[in-house]
Structure 1
Amino acid sequence: MLPLAGYLSEIDVHPQSVYVLHEKVERRFSMHTHEKGQLTYVEGGIAYCNMPDRSYVVPARHYIWVPKHQQHYMQIRHSKATTIRNLYFYSHNDHLHPFYSRLGIYPVNELLQQMIAYSARWERHVLPGDPGFSFLSAIKDILPEISTTALPVALPTTQHERLRPVLLYIAQHFDQQLTLESVSHEFDLSPRTLSRLFTNILNMSFVQYLKTLRVVKGIEMILQTNQTLSEIAYQTGYSSIAAFSKVFYQLTNKRPSSFQQGIY
Structure 2
Amino acid sequence: MANIHKDYYLTEVDKNPNTIYCMHDLMGEQDISAHQHEKGQFLYTEGGVVHVSTEQKTYFLPARHYMWIPPGVVHSIHPSSADVTMRNLYFPVEANENPFYAQKGIYPVNDLLLQMIIFSNRWSGDIDQTEQSSYRFALALKAILPEVSLYKLPLALPYAKDKRLASVIKYMGENLSEAIVFPAMASQFGLSERSLSRLFQGDVGMSFIQYLTIQRMMLAVQLLLEDKMSVKEVASMVGYNSIPTFSTTFYKTLGVRPSEYVKMKGALGLDVMLA
The TM-score normalised by the length of structure 1 is 0.90
Match of 1:59 among 55, 62, 65: 62
Between stretches 159-168 and 80-89, larger displacement belongs to: 159-168
| RMSD, aligned α-carbons | 2.3
Give the Cα–Cα distance (whole angstroms) in 1 for the partners of residues 8 and 222 of structure 2: 32
2-side partners of 1:10 and 1:189: how far apart? Answer: 50
Aligned partners of 2:31 and 2:79 also within 8 Å? no
Aligned mates of 2:252, 2:70 — CA distance in 1: 26
> Aligned runs of 1:115-126 on 2, under 5 Å?
115-126=116-127
2:232 equivalent among 230, 233, 250: 230
For residue 16 of structure 1, report the CA deviation from its aligned partner: 1.2
The residue correspondences of 1:151-162 to structure 2 (distance < 5 A) are: 151-162=153-164
> Per-residue deviation at 1:46?
1.3
Deviation (angstroms), 1:6:
4.6
Query: What is the total number of aligned residue pairs between the two structures?
Result: 262
Q: Is 1:33 equivalent to 2:36 in the alignment?
A: yes
2:45 counterpart SS class: strand
Partner Cα separation in structure 1 for residue 201 and residue 262 of structure 2: 33
Q: Assess if the C-alpha contact under 8 Å between 1:4 and 1:25 holds in 2.
A: no
Greater shift after overlay, 150-159 or 15-24? 150-159
Structure-2-length-normalised TM-score: 0.86
* Residue 100 (structure 1) aligns with: 101
Structure 2: gaps of 5 or more residues: 268-275
Distance 1:124 1:63 in 2: 20
CA distance in 2, matches of 1:237, 1:111: 36
Paired letter, 1:142: I
1:18 alignment partner in structure 2: 20
CA contact (8 A) 1:53 1:158 kept: no
Letter in 2 for 1:163: L
Is contact 2:27-2:83 (8 Å) kept? Answer: no
2:249 to 230, 247, 251: 247
Amino acid at match of 2:135: F
Superposition map of 1:163-174 within 5 A: 163-174=165-176
The reply on whether 1:86 has 2:88 as its aligned counterpart is yes
Task: Give the percent of matched residue pairs that are identical in Structure 1 and Structure 2.
Answer: 37
Q: CA deviation at 1:82?
A: 2.1
Gap regions ≥5 residues in structure 1? none
